[in-house]
Structures are given as C-alpha cells and as structure tokens.
A and B are shown apart, each in its own frame.
Chain A
Amino acid sequence: MHNSGISIWFFIGVLLTIYGALIFGYGLYELATGHTANVVLANLHAPVWWGATLLALGLFYSLRFRPKRNDS
C-alpha cells in the first residue's frame, strides 16, 4: 500500500499514538488524583501500562515510516 506515497504503517503509527496518548494520559490522571473508575482490577492501573505500550508502538511506527520529502 505504498501507491499514495505514504505507508499504511505511518497511519497505523499515528492511530496508535493518539490512542496511546489519550489512554496513558487518563491513566496518569487516575494515578495522580486517586479518582479511579469503578471497574474490576482498577488497582492494576491498566490504562497506564497499556496506554504506554500503545504510545511506544505508535511513536515507533510513526517515526520509522514517516513520509519523506523526496518520496514519489
């Protein structure tokens, strides 16, 4: 899927970065304020580590497959 000049992996990276940042941010807010959502296993702070994983993956793909200026 390179025909448009931008790799699909770049879009995947951007998508994961946005989701990761939002979830990680919310997880940090929960940690900082202690206002945890009313869900089972809230003590594990899944939004922090899952959000961080998605963010790291997203950043990796966004940078690794970023569109280059001389791409035709």
Chain B
Amino acid sequence: MLFLGMVMMPFYYVCKTHSVPGYLKLRFGQGASIVAAFSFAFMTVLMSGVNMFAMAEVMKVVLGWNLNFSIIVSSLAVAAYVALGGLRSAIFNEVLQFMLIWGGALLVPILGLVEAGGWTGLKAKIARNIATGAIPAGDYTHMWRSMGHFADNPMGIHWTGIVFGLGFAISFGYWTTDFLVVQRVMAANSLRSARMAPVIGSFFKMAVPFIVILPGLLGLVVLQNSDGSLMKLVGENVVAANPGAGLHSYNEVLPLMLVRYCSPGLLGLGITALIAGFMSGMAGNVSAFSAVWTYDIYRPLINKSARDEHYVTVGRWATILGVVISIFAAYMVMNAKGIMDYVQALFSFFISPLLGAVLMGMFWKGATKAGGFWGLLIGTLTSISLFIWVKIDPSALRYVALSPDAKDMAENMYRALWSVSVSVIVIFVVSLFGTPRPVAELNGLVYGATKLPKEDPVPYYKNEYFWMVLAIACFLALNIYFW
C-alpha cells in the first residue's frame, strides 16, 4: 500500500485511467488491455462469490437462515444499490460499512482476550490444547519462527514462499494493480489525497489481524460445544461431507464468537458489521466488473461508437450479469476447502501476471507492446497450467512448491511467484526483439519519462512522507514483536 501511494499512484493519477486494463491500453495497446480486462472481469465476479458465500454463512450461523435463501437476499440487495447508484454509491456505502465493521467486530477480540486471560493466557491455553492433542501442533502466535522449513508449519511453506509469493506476487499485486482498490483512490480530489489514502489505509490494514486472525486464535481455546467440550473446527469440505454431524468450519469462527459474547443489540451490530463488510466487498467487485466489462471489453470489441446513455445501460446490465455469475461462484466456494484457499488461487491466476506487466510497463521504458501482451498472456496461462497440473497429478506439488513437504497453500504462493516471474521474463525477452515506443509518448505512463505535478508544502502531519515513515516503523515493530 505504501508503494502504491508513494510510487505508483502518481502514474495512475496523471494518466487518469479508470482501470488497470485502461492503463495497459495506454502503455501496451489494445492486446494487453483485452487480456487484462477478461482476466480482471473473471476475477471480480469470482471474488464477489466469496463475499456472497461468507455473508450467507453469517446468516446461516446467526439467524439460522437457509444458505440458498441468504445468497438470493444478499445478491438482490447489492444488485439494487450498485445498479442504481454506480461507483459513487458503492464508495459511499463502503465508507459507512467501514465504520460499522470496526464498531461491530472490534468487541469480539476484546471480550475474547478477557475470557482467555489476555495474550499470555491465550498462548498458555493454546499450548495446553496442543499438549492434549485437542488442536494440531504448530506455532500459532509467531509469524516467522517456524518458516525455516516446509515441514515446520501447518501451511507447509517456506519463508521464501511467504515473502516472495504471498508478500510480493500476491499481496503486492493485489494492492497495486487491483482496481477495486485503486479505482476508489482515483476518486480523490488531489494527487496528495490520492497518495495519502493508501498510506493511511496501511495503518488499518496492519490492524485487520486484530479482528480477523485474533478471533480465529481465540476460537481455538474458547469455543465450546453444547456439552461443554472444546469445539473442533474442520474444513468446509469436511462439514459438507458430514451433514447433520453438527460440525463447524473455520469459516464460521467469527459469527460463532459473536453469538458467544454479544447480547441483543450488540449481536445486531456485529451481524450488520459482518454483512456490511461482505456486502461492500461484493458491491466493489460487481461495480468494478461492470466498469471493466463496459469500457474495456464491450466498447473496444463490440460497439465502439454508441452514445453515453447506451454505455450506462450496458453498465447496469453488466451489474446484473455480475451478480448472477457471483451466485454461481458462491456455490463454487462452498465446495472449496476454505475461503482462503480459493481466494489465493484466484489471485495467483489473475493478479500475479498483471503485477509483472504493470511493473515492467511502469518502470522500464524498453518494454514493448508485444512484450506486454505476451508476458501477460503467458504469465496467466502458466499459473492456470500449474494449477491443472497439480489437480491431475497431486505429486507435482513438490515441483511447483519446491519441496515434497509443501502443502496446498504453499502451492498457491509459489504458483503466484512462478506466474509473475514468467510474465516479467517474457516481457523482457520479447521486448529485446522489438522497438520500444519513443520516450515522448511515455509521459504519464513510465517512471523516468513522466513529469509529476508539484505539490504545495503542507505541515508535517498532512505530509504523506511523515505518515509513510510512521507506517514503516509500525510494520517493523509488529514483525519484530510477533517474530
């Protein structure tokens, strides 16, 4: 997010594009833009399905509603406000939902920590449950200590996979090239505001584990079955395979914790917070799908010269179409092992190759049109091929994830790394055989060829560099504390 704010945002802001395919069109021409548009369109609706499924899970656990009914209710609500209001209403709602999420979900880890006896008590209880075999062995409260070897942690991954696969290829890619994120910042009224938004957002991002990971850890020690025994959480596929057994999946931890601690009123706020979060994710994805479909696929490929009203209508229909596809995607998530597996797999298909293309386009003047197109296409195909290879022959995981001890999640991280690497290498090699565009044409698109607007001096507390340094300090402190 800091890289997005401080380095990449000026380019996005100066070229005033409305999407990443839009940027790629300006930089690499129509070919790369179309590949990115299709890939991005797929990703947004598949991601929207994740939000829809998660929202239905909350309604199922807390309200006892049928999963299918919950999916229909949530899809109708989002379709209505995105189709009627568009991007502006989606952003407006997201801001309100953001406040609700923190107001509603923050109480769960606070009360959970009180019950568990604080951080020290939580660690002691986890250690006790590991000793009694109630939960699988593993280092649950540190990030890096058990990353020295694939066999040392439950994810079956090495620190290189976390740093370069998750940290760079997936997370870096998501925060800098996913226009669900960037599109919102583009609505800022000045370049300084556009740069400040991701920098300030990074503080909240660092706090997210408090309402996402901590409740999961607390769930390992405080959640109980009705007979008072410790609740054993399983994967979504195990729950689906044993209907009526009363099993609960990892996905249900937060709603279960809400029911545990929250009385009427607070429970309502908590449910609203969760539903608001998922609805905002869904609305964001669907509105992004609608924008990309209309501007980057429909207009250049199907109808180039219609009136603006026509494109607005197409955008509204695209919203409805996006919601319908999301419903199918929600059922796909239901059959995945867990939401996290599904999401990381999607990112490795669509985000990582895009990162390679955007970085090469933005920071290397020598990257050519053909290089951008082939790099993006082959990077995407590499990722999908590796996924299919492991699906057909599970033993291939040792080659994709570089170790016989690697597990599914490691595959996602290393697949993403392969994908971004292939994308960058192909762009580099293909570009060597072509003629780059003249530097004069790259103004506003490439680092070193762009004159950035000068900003007026402001007091230090309004300066983005001050907040960036503070964010880096917090990031380092958190990593050292949870090493």
Residue B231 CB within 8 A of the other chain: no
A8/B92 in contact, CB under 8 A? yes
Contacts of A44 in B (CB 8 A): 111, 114
Contacts of A50 in B (CB 8 A): 107, 266
For the A-B complex, the count of residue pairs with Cβ-Cβ distances under 8 Å equals: 64
Contacts of A22 in B (CB 8 A): 265, 268
Contacts of A19 in B (CB 8 A): 100, 103, 269
A23/B92 in contact, CB under 8 A? no
A41/B111 in contact, CB under 8 A? yes
Select from chain A the residue with minimum beta-carbon distance to B106.
A50
Residue total for B at the interface (Cβ-Cβ under 8 A): 22
Residue B95 CB within 8 A of the other chain: yes
- Chain B residues numbered 235-268 whose CB sits less than 8 Å from any CB in chain A: 259-266, 268
Contacts of B469 in A (CB 8 A): none
Contacts of B111 in A (CB 8 A): 40-41, 44, 46
Please list the 7 inter-chain residue pairs (A to B) with the smallest Cβ-Cβ separation, ordered nearest first.
A37-B263, A26-B265, A23-B265, A12-B99, A40-B260, A39-B263, A41-B111
Residue B84 CB within 8 A of the other chain: no
Residue A59 CB within 8 A of the other chain: no
Distance of A1 from chain B, by nearest CB (Å): 6
Residue B96 CB within 8 A of the other chain: yes
Contacting A30 at CB < 8 Å: which of B107, B115, B263?
B263
Contacts of A30 in B (CB 8 A): 263
B99/A16 in contact, CB under 8 A? yes
- Mark interface residues in A16-31 (1 if CB within 8 Å of B CB, else 0): 1001001101110010
A54/B115 in contact, CB under 8 A? no
Residue A15 CB within 8 A of the other chain: yes
Interface CB pairs A-B, < 8 A, 18: A1-B92, A11-B96, A12-B99, A15-B100, A19-B103, A19-B269, A23-B265, A25-B265, A37-B263, A37-B264, A39-B259, A39-B263, A40-B115, A46-B261, A46-B262, A47-B266, A50-B107, A50-B266
Contacts of A15 in B (CB 8 A): 96, 99-100
Distance of A13 from chain B, by nearest CB (Å): 10
Contacting A23 at CB < 8 Å: which of B96, B115, B266?
B266
Distance of A45 from chain B, by nearest CB (Å): 9
Known: A36-B263, A46-B261. A41 touches B115 (CB 8 A): yes
Residues of B within 8 A of A (CB): 91-92, 95-96, 99-100, 103, 107, 111, 114-115, 222, 259-266, 268-269
Residue A63 CB within 8 A of the other chain: no
A41/B263 in contact, CB under 8 A? no
Q: How far, in whole Å, are A54 and B115 apart by their CA atoms in the complex?
A: 23
Distance of A29 from chain B, by nearest CB (Å): 10
Contacts of B92 in A (CB 8 A): 1, 8
Contacts of A12 in B (CB 8 A): 95-96, 99
Contacts of B263 in A (CB 8 A): 26, 30, 36-37, 39, 42, 46-47
Q: How far, in whole Å, are A40 and B262 apart by their CA atoms in the complex?
A: 8
Distance of A46 from chain B, by nearest CB (Å): 6
B262/A39 in contact, CB under 8 A? yes
Select from chain A the residue with minimum beta-carbon distance to B107.
A50
Contacts of B268 in A (CB 8 A): 22
Q: How far, in whole Å, are A61 and B95 apart by their CA atoms in the complex?
A: 14
Q: How far, in whole Å, are A19 and B92 apart by their CA atoms in the complex?
A: 19
Q: How far, in whole Å, are A16 and B266 apart by their CA atoms in the complex?
A: 12
Q: How far, in whole Å, are A36 and B266 apart by their CA atoms in the complex?
A: 13
Could you list 6 further interchain pairs (A-B, Cβ under 8 angstroms) beyond the known A22-B268, A39-B261, A46-B261?
A12-B96, A16-B103, A19-B100, A39-B262, A40-B260, A41-B111
A41/B265 in contact, CB under 8 A? no
Q: How far, in whole Å, are A39 and B115 apart by their CA atoms in the complex?
A: 12
B266/A1 in contact, CB under 8 A? no
Q: How far, in whole Å, are A24 and B417 apart by their CA atoms in the complex?
A: 50
B262/A51 in contact, CB under 8 A? no
Distance of B215 from chain A, by nearest CB (Å): 14
Contacts of B264 in A (CB 8 A): 26, 37
Contacts of B100 in A (CB 8 A): 15, 19
Contacts of B265 in A (CB 8 A): 22-23, 25-27, 47, 51
Q: How far, in whole Å, are A28 and B103 apart by their CA atoms in the complex?
A: 19
Contacts of B107 in A (CB 8 A): 46, 50
B114/A41 in contact, CB under 8 A? yes
Q: How far, in whole Å, are A54 and B100 apart by their CA atoms in the complex?
A: 10
Contacts of B261 in A (CB 8 A): 39-41, 46
Max count, chain A CB within 10 A of own CB: residue among B95, B260, B269: B269
Q: How far, in whole Å, are A51 and B264 apart by their CA atoms in the complex?
A: 12
Contacting B269 at CB < 8 Å: which of A23, A40, A41?
A23
Contacts of A27 in B (CB 8 A): 265
B95/A46 in contact, CB under 8 A? no
Contacts of A26 in B (CB 8 A): 263-265
Contacts of A23 in B (CB 8 A): 265-266, 269
Select from chain B the residue with minimum beta-carbon distance to A42.
B263
Q: How far, in whole Å, are A62 and B152 apart by their CA atoms in the complex?
A: 52
Q: How far, in whole Å, are A2 and B96 apart by their CA atoms in the complex?
A: 15
